[in-house]
Amino acid sequence: MAHDASWSPDGKRIVFSDLQGGRQWQLYLVSVDGGSSQLLLPESQVMDPSWSPDGNAVLFGGPFAPGNTPEKSVLQIYNLQTQSLSVVPGSKGLKAAVWSPDGRYISAVSANAPLRLVLFDFKTQKWTEQARLDAGFQSWSRDSRYIYFLSGEASYEGVFRVSVSNNKVEKLLSLKDFQSAGTFGGWLSLTPEDEPLVLRDVSPPEIYALAWDAP
């Protein structure tokens, strides 16, 4: 099951996480022209990849192995050129990380309660808590000034954004009574003009009658 595909900055490659044959989540790299996909880090169980702005590295979360608790998850960076791994400082217990377009920040969420949206600054090497809420599918604005995301208590009930400069959270769009679609209950991205994109389920409900003849 392929999930969370991400285009490289030069538009030539796609990195994605996949779950095959009951195994753990792993990362794959494939050319946009097709062909065989390349398995990255075959000994690791990771997911949620995000490209560095220069396309030379991939940020991801994990390891997601049997018996691991959310507290054991950590964010890592894989350098595609040197094939080396590094851990993002202070990222224990975090997941769903997204690299900012200017390369300075990482947006991530906590893997367990209390649910938090947090920001890492490469310049200061520090994490900042931006909000205590259920956040998902973060998308950076093109100027790296805002992080857009879905949030809601029972389900994704709205599109929000938070400012990097002052951590102010704004609700931009209500998704109440909106039939969302997506692998994990919803999906969000942005257009080149930073307009929110969401998936909506417009399939009609169907009723079936079944007849069963006992042997």
Measure the CA–CA gap between 111 and 131, rounded to whole angstroms.
14
Domain residue spans in the chain?
A: 1-99
* 190-211 confidence digits (pLDDT tens): 998 999 888 777 777 777 777 7
Tokens for 75, please give them: 């964010």
Of the candidate CATH numbers 2.120.10.30, 3.40.50.2000, 2.40.50.140, 3.40.50.1000, the domain formed by 1-99 belongs to 2.120.10.30
Collect all residues with Cβ–Cβ distance below 8 Å to 178 and sequence separation of at least 6. Answer: 198, 200
Distance of CA 130 to the CA centre of its chain: 17
Residue among 107, 113, 83, 80 nearest 95 (CA): 107
Three-state secondary-structure class, residue 205: coil
Q: How confident is the model at residue 59 (pLDDT cuts 50, 70, 90)?
A: very high
Measure the CA–CA gap between 138 and 148, rounded to whole angstroms.
5
Q: What is the pLDDT of residue 21?
A: 60
Q: What is the pLDDT of residue 180?
A: 65
* 96-132 confidence digits (pLDDT tens): 999 999 999 999 999 887 789 999 999 999 999 999 9
Mean residue pLDDT across the chain: 85
Selected residue with higher pLDDT from 38 and 70: 38
Q: What is the pLDDT of residue 71?
A: 59
Look at 24-28, 57-61, 92-96, 206-210 and tell me which has the smallest mean pLDDT: 206-210
- 62-66, 126-130, 134-138 — which one is most confidently predicted on average? 126-130
pTM of the model: 0.83
